[in-house]
Amino acid sequence: MEDLIGIGFLLILLAGAYLIGTVGEKRHYSSIRKREARLSNILIFNEKMPPTIYAKHEFALVGGSVVMSSDYFRQTIASLKKLVGGRLTSFESMMDRGRREAILRMKEEAERIGAKVIFNIRIETCMLTKNQGGGGERGLACAELFAYGTALRAHGASLQNNA
């Protein structure tokens, strides 16, 4: 009887973690979509050098950093999936939200300084794990994502008017 209560309690905890994680993820995606629409006027390019029309613009380094973590339910499912192999879709979602959030934070910094174009953007990723004794990577599954680039700001005017 105690075993059934223990299993039932574990299932309730996993279901609660799943529901809370799913709601949190949906809210974050909603926030990301709204901010992406608001910042769509700030253009980003991965080319190293801007076109010559931007030669007289001021340059500034802008960046955005975020640390993303997966919820306990998704970590548990990913651990089970690692036994048989395949895509870890829960971590794909976490990394997608992280990349988009880092780019949005970079764009927000560019907006604060009055830039409308960012060139030479790069995204760096670092997986962070908390080793809980013994060997191997276990425990806290999270990643830091850092987006950075060169923002172009017109001298005393907006880039939209000069481009």
| Complete domains list, the chain, with CATH | 2-162 (3.30.110.70)
Query: Are 93 and 139 in contact, with CB atoms under 8 Å apart?
Result: no
Dihedral sign for Cα 90, 93, 99, 104, please.
negative
pTM of the model: 0.78
Between helix 72-84 and helix 89-112 the angle, nearest 10°, is 130
pLDDT in tens, the chain (163 residues): 788 888 888 888 878 877 888 888 899 999 999 999 999 999 999 988 888 877 788 899 999 999 988 766 777 777 777 778 878 777 888 889 999 999 999 999 999 999 999 999 999 998 877 655 555 555 567 889 999 999 998 776 444 444 4
User: Which residue, among 123, 82, 81, has the nearest Cα to 102 in the 3D structure?
Assistant: 123
Tokens 């926030």, residue?
Answer: 31
